[in-house]
Amino acid sequence: MDALETAVVIVGGGVAGRAAGLFTARNGLETIVLDDGSSLLRRNAHLENYPGLPGGINARVLLERMTEQAVDAGCQFETATVETLERTADGFLATTAADDRYQAETAILATKNEVGYLDSMPDVEIVDRGKSYVATDNRGRTALDGLYAAGRLAGKPHQTIVAAGHGSEVAITLLEDRAEPFYHDWVAPAGYFTGRGRDVPPGCEEIDEPERLDREREGRKRRERLLDAHSSPPPEQHPSVDQ
């Protein structure tokens, strides 16, 4: 079977993987997230320390909304368990349990503490601290060019907001390493740059007041869906607990 080619493959669809996919896709890189559905956040009874959400939020709903936001940016999600990740002449080849293959120029690992699929890449340093982590520099780069690790797998604290922030940072690091024309992901009011005789930087845009109001109305509609009682699935239990 021929491999599906993409610019970025993200192994793991938890908070870090979803956040990374949002940033790479929003910057125009074809991005595929391979998610086996085992994000630890699915076990959270009620997430109460995520900034901007007073009173907390159903953690499964947050994952759904993060997916929706990344898809809006152009990110593709596939339900898949990656069994092997290999270095190739053109980047990295991910092979799933269903024998689907994804050839990517760059890869981001975001699988919490799962590292078995990296056995074919001995240059990737695995750190054992009771659980397994991937050694990275302070921006999420591994020992292999083009391969990154984000969130808990990179040794970051076990907190949702930290994982989301680190996934975003690692994605920006990837963009910088590829010399993509990235400035910052910022929508500015009309004239913010051009009114000062500047070109609008890469990654930015200027919008006028009617467009701003349209986007705000659309954003409000989507946020109201967070309150929908029908979108509040219960948490998953730890697999060691008798059901």
83: which 2 tokens? 């069994």
The stretch 13-27 carries a mean pLDDT of 96
Kind and range of the H or E run holding 82: strand 82-88
Clarify whether residues 36 and 99 are in a common domain.
yes
pTM for this entry? 0.92
Clarify whether residues 48 and 16 are in a common domain.
yes
> What's the pLDDT tens digit per position in 220-238?
988 777 666 446 778 878 7
Q: Does the residue 237 lie in any domain?
A: no
Q: Does the residue 234 lie in any domain?
A: no
Q: Does the residue 118 lie in any domain?
A: yes
- DSSP 8-class letter at 140: S
pLDDT (0 to 100) of residue 224: 79
Clarify whether residues 155 and 212 are in a common domain.
no
* Total structural domains within the chain: 2
Residue 158: give its domain's CATH number. 3.50.50.60
| Whether pLDDT at 182 is above 80 | no
SS3 state at 149: strand
Clarify whether residues 150 and 171 are in a common domain.
yes
Separation CA 70–CA 175 (nearest Å): 16
Clarify whether residues 168 and 193 are in a common domain.
no
> What's the pLDDT tens digit per position in 72-123?
999 999 999 999 999 999 999 999 999 999 999 999 999 999 999 999 999 9
Q: Does the residue 241 lie in any domain?
A: no
Mean confidence (pLDDT) of the chain: 92
Separation CA 139–CA 88 (nearest Å): 23
| Whether pLDDT at 54 is above 60 | yes
Q: Does the residue 136 lie in any domain?
A: yes
pLDDT (0 to 100) of residue 231: 60
The stretch 30-59 carries a mean pLDDT of 92
Domain that holds residue 219: 187-226
